[in-house]
Amino acid sequence: MSTPVTRYLVVLMRRPGFDQALVAPHMAFLDELRGQGLLETSGGFGDGSGGAYVLIGVASLEEAGAIAARDPLAIHGASDVTVHEWITR
């Protein structure tokens, strides 16, 4: 049996009037997280309603929330952001 690993799932759901111009800064933010070794994976939902990313190497749900709050989509109120502690195997 695998050892459980704590990850943090960040779910972003687009709000009405979503500004497409924020996608490039959001992607740059994700690239920054990847460069810091904090981003495991990311992607958009097939229906265009939003997307998600998985944070690793983060000490707590509070820290994950603080990271997600720096996302341009959160800063500009373009998406509803929810962070979940995710125990994976």
Closest CA to 16 of 78, 68, 81: 78
Contact at 8 Å (CB) between 54 and 10? yes
Q: Which residue has the higher pLDDT, 89 or 80?
A: 80
What is the extent of the structural domain holding 10? 5-88
Number of domains in the chain: 1
Stretch 11-22: mean pLDDT: 97
pLDDT band at 30 (very low <50, low <70, confident <90, very high): very high
Whether 55 and 67 have beta carbons less than 8 Å apart is answered as: yes
Strands (DSSP E) found in 1-89: 5-14, 39-44, 50-55, 79-88
Predicted confidence band of residue 2 (pLDDT cuts 50, 70, 90): confident
CATH number of the domain residue 30 falls in: 3.30.70.1060
> How large a percentage of the chain has pLDDT more than 70?
99
Is the distance from CB of 39 to CB of 28 less than 8 angstroms?
no
65, 9 contact by CB (below 8 A):
no
Q: If you average pLDDT over residues 37-54, what whole number do you get?
A: 98
